[in-house]
Amino acid sequence: MELYYKNRHIERWVGGFNFVAAAAVIAIFVMLYGFDRVVLPLVVLHAAEVVLCFYFFAEKIIRFFNAESKRRFLRFNWFEIPLLLVLLLIAGGADRWFPLLDRDMVLLPAVSVYLVLQVLSKVCLGMVRFASTGKNPTMGLIILFIILICAGAGLLMLPKAHNLETMSITDAFFTATSATCVTGLIVADTGRDFTLMGQTIILILIQLGGLGIVVFGAVLALLLGQALSVKESLAMQDLLNARTLRSISMMIGFIFLGTIVIEAIGAVSLMPMWDNVPSAMPHPDMKWFYSVFHSISAFCNAGFSLFNTSLIDYNTSFGVYTVIAPLVILGGLGFGVLYNLTHVGADAVKRFFRRRFDPASALTIGPPQRIRLQTKIVLTTSLILIAAGTILLMLFESYSPEAEHDSGFKTALFQSITARTAGFNTVNVAVLSEASKMILMVLMFIGGSPGSTAGGIKTVTLAVVIMVIYATLRKRREVELFKRSVRLAVVGRAITVMLLFAGLLILMTMLLVLTESDRGWSLLDLAFEATSALGTVGLSTGVTPTLTTAGKWIIIATMLIGRLGPLTLLVGLTFNLKPASYDYPSEPLMVG
């Protein structure tokens, strides 16, 4: 349901002023918290905050009287009323309720929170509107990712965000791209070279990039009471692969709740693990932040770690295999699969209790929820890849003459899981045998599942391509999976994705060979680096810190292409091309 205004001209002016006001709020916060020295007098900055607070209050009054339906306006902006009431109560009763504190110490934080929520709601809804407007929504999504990377790089360059003398533009963009594209390749040590502020910025970029910036914007916009128009709902339906418009809000709610619950459980479960290696953590009182950081990084399949050796120091810790690994798997399955499994599980529980306690009503429930074809393919392929990767890594490392590390089941299993998605490592990748590196490259090339936080060609693409070969050998007219036929368009898309990934991998490897020829790296190491970047994994044999400036920008481009997907980029560039309205006559060809 959309909100309409009487005077569209006034609404356009208000929208323009909102953009300027939001930019001013961001600039004020950057000047307040991003520099070691005061850029402008604090009195001026705090006065500007109060003025902007009054502007947002006046903006709501103008839009209220301009709205065609006052009731609908209040309904869509429900969070404004309690927020304003709290702000007014704090402003009026600060002296009475907080007599021991300075009035400004109470009022200014309240004003800051109000401004943050105002800007957050406008930015989130703006992202969804931007992605749903125009003739090419795919290009809108690409532009939003680039804007987020640029904003993240700018924030990481602030003096209070890092511990270095200077943060170069290239390193800032590399780190921001790696975080936004949930890759995990680093040119600056996350735990040592960045302050708590910088690490928090990286964590926010990971969360935004992992869930998808537009989806995250829609989640927060709906939570803050902002309404989605029909066009915006259709855009979200396409992004979430929802079957009906009615299921969009349920899917968005599931994404938000599921993310919060899974990451919170992961963070709490990781807390005891840091006691196993006390010397690895520089600040024992930061255990909670380390837990939250690694939980989000694992679930979003980012592979960022606050330890300079990733999780090698914790390779014997039980939490790595019982917490980190499951978080990586859940993040790599995709929200569509998790949503389907949750529905099937909830339906099964409901039917069980109905049959147990109310047998008469059990006959009127309707057909049971079924596991979709997508879910079956994802679960089966993921299980096969994890098992095959584990067995092959154990085999190659056991018979490798230069192996001087643990090649047991736990290590092989963990690397098999993280190689397709996350990029954490419990063993030094550089000392692995060449055969093991090739196996890791194959797993990185395949990646996670569609709709997940992982990269690669995706598990469903691999399954479809394999079944194309199987159907050809068995002389079947259609590609079949789990007794279901796969549409020809899906088959064509799967083959296109695989070929584009393979072509890009070869191209990026060749470019790295040209730029890094003087660094002494082998072709396998450079191909490994390119595969890790394109698959948004984050594993490295040690190439990343030694990259030239040109090599870093090649990896930056590779990570962005890998996160968005080469097919998405191709669709964005060819969106306006019209399909031909004719077909040429066919003629037999000999292939193979």
DSSP string, 493-534: HHHHHHHHHHHHHHHHHHHHHHHSGGGT--HHHHHHHHHHHH
Would you say residue 214 has pLDDT above 90? Answer: no
> For residues 80 and 472, what is the distance between their CA atoms, to the nearest angstrom?
61
CA distance 348 to 345: 5
Residues 6+ apart with CB under 8 A from 354: 361, 362, 365
What is the mean predicted confidence (pLDDT) over 458-463?
90
Mean pLDDT of the chain: 82
Q: What is the pLDDT of residues 542-575, one digit of tens each?
A: 899 999 999 999 999 999 888 887 666 665 555 5
Please indicate whether residue 558 or residue 362 has the higher confidence score (pLDDT).
558
Inside any domain, residue 61? yes
Instruction: Tell me the β-bridge partners of 194.
Output: 162
Cα–Cα distances in angstroms (integers) from residue 386 to residues 382, 440, 442, 444, in the given order: 6, 11, 12, 12
DSSP SS3 for 479: strand
Predicted local distance difference test score (pLDDT) of residue 157: 92
In a domain, 52, yes or no: yes
How high is the pLDDT of residue 523? 92
Question: Domain for residue 427, yes or no?
Answer: no
Please tell me the distance from the alpha carbon of residue 173 to that of residue 148, in angstroms, as a whole number: 11
Contacts of 145 (CB under 8 A, 6+ apart): 180, 181, 209, 213, 560, 563, 564
Q: Is residue 87 in a domain?
A: yes
Q: What is the pLDDT of residue 244?
A: 47
What is the residue range of 11's domain?
A: 1-132
Which residues fall within 8 angstroms of residue 80, CB to CB, at 6 or more apart?
Answer: 60, 225
**Least confident window among 110-114, 340-344, 461-465, 480-484:** 110-114
Is the residue at 508 inside a domain?
no
In the predicted model, what is the mean pLDDT of residues 248-275? 84
User: Looking at residues 304-323, what average pLDDT do you find?
Assistant: 88
Residue 176: per-residue pLDDT: 94
Both tokens of 390, joined, read: 């584990």
Give yes or no for a contact between 31 and 48, defined as CB atoms under 8 angstroms apart: no
Distance in angstroms (rounded) separating the CA atoms of residues 306 and 304: 7
User: Who has greater pLDDT, 284 or 165?
Assistant: 165
| 528 within 8 A of 541, measured Cβ to Cβ | yes
Query: For residue 361, what pLDDT is reported?
Result: 66
Q: Is 297 among the domain residues?
A: no
Confidence band for 127, pLDDT divided at 50, 70 and 90:
low
| More confident of the two residues 362 and 331 | 331
Which residue did the predictor score with more confidence, 117 or 541?
Answer: 541
Average pLDDT (513-537) is 91
Question: What average pLDDT does range 57-81 have in this prediction?
Answer: 79
Percent of the chain with pLDDT over 70: 81
In a domain, 342, yes or no: no
For residue 10, the one-letter residue type is I
**Percent of the chain clearing pLDDT 90 (strictly above):** 28
Mean pLDDT, residues 111-126 taken together: 77
H/E stretch holding 446 reads: helix 434-446
pLDDT at 431: 86
CA 74 to chain CA centroid, Å, is 33
Rounded CA-CA distance 429/436 in Å is 9
Which conformational region is residue 441 in: left (phi greater than 0), alpha (psi within -120 to 50 degrees), or beta? alpha
Mean pLDDT of 264-279: 87
Q: Is the pLDDT assigned to residue 365 strictly greater than 80?
A: no
pLDDT band at 274 (very low <50, low <70, confident <90, very high): confident
Kindly state whether residue 510 falls inside one of the protein's structural domains: no
Question: How many independent structural domains does the chain possess?
Answer: 1
How many residues are listed for the chain in this entry?
A: 592
What does 535-572 look like in DSSP terms, one character per residue?
TT----SS-GGG--HHHHHHHHHHHHHHHH-HHHHHHH
In this prediction, residue 392 carries a pLDDT of 92
Helix (H) or strand (E) holding 525: helix 523-534
Q: Rounded to whole angstroms, what are the CA distances from 32 to 50, 112, 122?
A: 14, 11, 21
